[in-house]
């Protein structure tokens, strides 16, 4: 684990993550910071806690809208699709490897 110093809405935080996850973490930090700044700049909400909650709700709504719309996979998130595809690739690699 490595220590990563970040800033969200002007407040500094220290987080720990694996070196391989640093880029993803920094992208998430940028997204949260930008969303919180947009909520703050709207002028409708005061207080960092309320700003954070509104930003979290907006991000969660976006995430939920990325789910498959209808059918047998209607409640499956995009990340679950990727995991399933990765699992299938692994099974195919095993099958092809044992067929040789």
For 3, half-sphere exposure in the C-beta direction (CA atoms, 13 angstrom radius) is 4
Whether the pLDDT of residue 86 is over 90: the answer is no
| 76 and 43 part of one domain | no
Q: What is the pTM of this model?
A: 0.66
Average pLDDT, integer, range 8-13: 94
Same structural domain, 8 and 21: yes
Domain extent at residue 34: 1-65
Domains identified in the chain, total number: 2
Asked if 89 and 48 sit in the same domain, the reply is: no
Does residue 88 register a pLDDT over 70?
A: yes
User: Where does residue 62 rank: exposed (0-12), middle (13-18), buried (19+ CB within 10 A)?
Assistant: exposed
Q: Is the pLDDT of residue 69 over 70?
A: no
CATH number at residue 33: 3.30.160.880
Same domain, 78 and 47: no
pLDDT higher than threshold 70 for residue 99: no
25 Cβ neighbours under 8 A, 6+ residues apart: 4, 15, 17
Residues 57 and 77 in one domain: no
36 and 75 inside one domain: no
Reduced to 3 states (helix: H, G, I; strand: E, B; else coil), residue 45 is: coil
**Residue-averaged pLDDT of the chain:** 86
Spatial distance between the Cα atoms of 35 and 98, rounded to a whole number of angstroms: 49
């Amino acid at each position: 684990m490595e220590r990563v110093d970040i800033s969200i809405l002007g407040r500094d935080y220290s987080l720990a993550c694996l070196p391989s996850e640093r880029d993803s973490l920094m992208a998430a930090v940028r997204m949260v910071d930008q969303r919180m700044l947009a909520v703050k700049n709207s002028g409708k909400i005061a207080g960092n806690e309320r700003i954070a909650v509104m930003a979290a709700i907006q991000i969660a709504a976006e995430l939920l809208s990325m789910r498959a719309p209808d059918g047998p996979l209607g409640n499956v998130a995009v990340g679950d699709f990727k995991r399933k595809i990765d699992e299938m690739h692994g099974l195919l690699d095993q099958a092809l490897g044992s067929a040789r």
